[in-house]
A and B are shown apart, each in its own frame.
Chain A
Amino acid sequence: MLYAAQRRRCAVYTRPLARLIEQLQRLPGIGPKSAQRLALYLLNRPEAEIQTLAQALLDAKQQVGHCQVCYHLSAEPVCEVCSNPNRDQQTICVVADSRDLIAIERTREYRGRYHVLGGVISPMDGIGPESLTIQPLVQRVHREKTHEVILAIGPSIEGETTTLYLSQLLKPFTKVTRIAFGLPVGGELEYADEVTLAKALEGRREVE
């Protein structure tokens, strides 16, 4: 079906335009209709603007790498958070990816530093602890004599497994805490499993 649709489009669009639509369609969340709309929009923009866009794409790809310390996306060898002397050097907040780091930064509640794992443990996807930045984290905790590691990994099965794995690994060396998530589904206490409920109670925070 897809093949037929592609052929049909090739017949309608001139080759370079078809290629542009094809590329846009590979982006996450972009379907054939959006890809077509974007392509036609871009074609109508001045050439200078297109140059700027293309250059921005290339620059980002070529210049943005990972912070040597925390593995957050960064154009510098060490990211802005890690190089900021005003941030607490003794606390590390561990997140699955850079998006989570950005979400926590937006709250402006946290003044420590981060560590970006690059994913969560998932054997089905061939992701074991060795494919994440766990070894560098352990070394960092040793080197920096970290006081507290806060685990802020989402509550999916894989996130939970990663949290448990890290806390076992790090507990001998430092204080390990985790952020509390709400009760899983439904939210009805009466239906919540005692185990789940007990865990939610353990993870409670004082109300300010």
Chain B
Amino acid sequence: MVGFFSIAPVAVVYLQRLHLRQFRNYAEQWVEFVAPKTILVGDNAQGKSNLLEAVELLATLRSHRTSRDGDLVRSAQDCAQITGWIDRAAGPLELSLSLRRVGRRTLVRSGETLRRQLDGLGSLNAVEFSSLDLDLVRGGPEQRRRWLDGLVMQLEPIYAHLLRQYERVLRQRNALLRDWAKQRRQGQALSDRAAELAIWDAQLAATGTRLIRRRARAIARLAPLASRWHGAISGRVETLTLTYAPNVAIAPDVWQLPALEEARAIEATLLAQIRDQAEIEQYQGTSLVGPHRDEVTLAVDDAPAKQYGSQGQQRTLVLALKLAELCAIEAVVGEPPLLLLDDVLAELDLARQNQLLGAIADRFQTIVTTTHLGAFDARWLDSAQVLTVRSGEIVA
């Protein structure tokens, strides 16, 4: 791993070329990345963020702006395509994602159509930082769960599959509970579904345990990095504590057990708490226990971050999280991820900007969007590739 604050001498351009076709407001666009830093400059709503979104989709197969593929296809078109040429230690590869207004996506890696698209995860890693990320501090637990899930997927791509399995069990179990509660309300004779429910309980505990262990593992990696970065940015006056707070109370000594026993202990705890809540669940008709109700707590000097400080201080916190994410992915994957900065630089004060720019240095291929170049440090501008975006085209 590259040292914490050290600066790697050689910067690698991992994403070398990008081609967009009928994507958002781009009809057809080639982008060549020739420097580790690329600045996309242009007025609002010209397509700067769309370009970052395309890179995010290639890396994570999801967009933080929409969950509907139809939104990603240029108006009056049926299909959008994003293709990236990536050069990594494992060798060069070409990744192409087709998104359709109607119908399923296709993902092609170096000429091979992936039957399971989740297998394409990990071909490219990226961390995105946009103004929406302030919701990590201000928003509800679901925002932080979504963020954590996105991170774990990049650290351990199989997590995407495990998450899907859990969500499937949850939906099935909720359907059963809902059905049961409805029968009860309508005063119908209750069919005995206890045996069936017991199996779904076991499935929820088994698939849920896989999520809990991986989330805990990711936070354990991230937490020390986040507090170090936060200390560095805030001048070491305040301490950030990042904690994984699973919905089921797990005894602290469980985390010290060998892997298989740890898994068994968590599964048993989960199952016991499901049993405890059985009556309430059957009455309410929904699952109340499990990692779908997990939380990640952020505290600064032991005070909950939500109530903490100014907008600037909350930005510092999110910035520390993002830098920690970068380092965690770099340590696990072995190569630094791309950093995508969507319009956030202008929102940071000069001191924090310099912290960020110093941290990035030449270590991470970085793509930045901005409305004006004035906000940038001159040394940065000199080494960066500047592209001007105007109504879905790169004009210079």
- Which positions in A face B, CB cutoff 8 Å? 121-124, 126, 128-130, 157-158, 160-161, 164-165, 168-169, 184-186, 188, 191-196, 198
State whether A198 and B260 are in contact (beta carbons under 8 Å apart), knowing that A157-B165, A161-B203 are contacts in the complex.
yes
Decide: B172 and A191 in contact? CB cutoff 8 A: no
B183-207: which have CB < 8 Å to A? Answer: 191, 193, 195-196, 198-200, 202-203, 206-207
B116 at the interface (CB under 8 A from A): yes
B179 cross-chain contacts in A, Cβ below 8 A: 123, 126
Decide: B156 and A191 in contact? CB cutoff 8 A: yes
Partner of A128, one of B168, B193, B203, B210: B193
B90-136: which have CB < 8 Å to A? Answer: 116, 118-119
Decide: A157 and B209 in contact? CB cutoff 8 A: no
B173 at the interface (CB under 8 A from A): yes
B263 at the interface (CB under 8 A from A): yes
B171 at the interface (CB under 8 A from A): yes
The secondary structure that dominates the B interface is helix
* Nearest residue, chain B, Cβ from A124: B175
A157 cross-chain contacts in B, Cβ below 8 A: 165, 168-169, 172, 203, 207
Decide: A164 and B202 in contact? CB cutoff 8 A: yes
Inter-chain CA distance A157–B267, complex, in Å, is 17
Decide: A191 and B158 in contact? CB cutoff 8 A: yes
Inter-chain CA distance A61–B326, complex, in Å, is 62
B88 at the interface (CB under 8 A from A): no
B154-183: which have CB < 8 Å to A? Answer: 156-158, 161-162, 165, 168-169, 171-173, 175-176, 179
B161 cross-chain contacts in A, Cβ below 8 A: 184-186
The secondary structure that dominates the A interface is helix
* Nearest residue, chain A, Cβ from B159: A191
Decide: B196 and A129 in contact? CB cutoff 8 A: yes
12 contacts between A and B (CB under 8 A): A124-B172, A124-B175, A130-B191, A157-B172, A160-B203, A161-B172, A165-B195, A165-B199, A168-B195, A186-B158, A194-B260, A195-B267
B34 at the interface (CB under 8 A from A): no
Inter-chain CA distance A191–B119, complex, in Å, is 12
Inter-chain CB contacts under 8 Å: number: 74
B196 cross-chain contacts in A, Cβ below 8 A: 121, 123, 128-129, 165
B259 at the interface (CB under 8 A from A): yes
* CB proximity of A40 to chain B, nearest CB, Å: 26
Inter-chain CA distance A191–B217, complex, in Å, is 13
A184 cross-chain contacts in B, Cβ below 8 A: 161
* Nearest residue, chain B, Cβ from A186: B158
State whether A168 and B172 are in contact (beta carbons under 8 Å apart), knowing that A123-B179, A184-B161, A185-B118 are contacts in the complex.
no
* CB proximity of A36 to chain B, nearest CB, Å: 19
Inter-chain CA distance A128–B263, complex, in Å, is 30
* Nearest residue, chain A, Cβ from B200: A161
* Nearest residue, chain A, Cβ from B197: A123
Inter-chain CA distance A56–B179, complex, in Å, is 41
* Nearest residue, chain A, Cβ from B258: A194
Inter-chain CA distance A188–B157, complex, in Å, is 11
Inter-chain CA distance A32–B207, complex, in Å, is 41
State whether A122 and B118 are in contact (beta carbons under 8 Å apart), knowing that A161-B203, A165-B199, A184-B161 are contacts in the complex.
no
Q: CB-defined interface of B340-354 with A at 8 Å, one 1/0 digit per residue?
A: 000000000000000
Given A126-B179, A130-B191, A169-B195, 14 more A-B residue pairs with CB atoms under 8 Å apart are A123-B176, A123-B200, A129-B196, A161-B172, A164-B202, A165-B195, A165-B196, A168-B198, A185-B158, A186-B158, A192-B158, A193-B158, A194-B259, A195-B263
Most chain B CB within a 10 A radius of its CB, from A130, A160, A188, A198: A160
* Nearest residue, chain A, Cβ from B170: A157
B162 cross-chain contacts in A, Cβ below 8 A: 193
Inter-chain CA distance A184–B175, complex, in Å, is 25
Inter-chain CA distance A161–B209, complex, in Å, is 17
Partner of B203, one of A126, A164, A186, A195: A164
A126 cross-chain contacts in B, Cβ below 8 A: 179
Inter-chain CA distance A4–B118, complex, in Å, is 36
Inter-chain CA distance A90–B84, complex, in Å, is 58
Query: Which A-B residue pairs are the 6 nearest by beta carbons?
Result: A123-B175, A123-B176, A185-B161, A191-B158, A124-B175, A157-B168
Decide: B263 and A186 in contact? CB cutoff 8 A: no
Inter-chain CA distance A188–B198, complex, in Å, is 31
A164 cross-chain contacts in B, Cβ below 8 A: 199, 202-203
Q: CB-defined interface of B282-310 with A at 8 Å, one 1/0 digit per residue?
A: 00000000000000000000000000000
* CB proximity of B287 to chain A, nearest CB, Å: 12
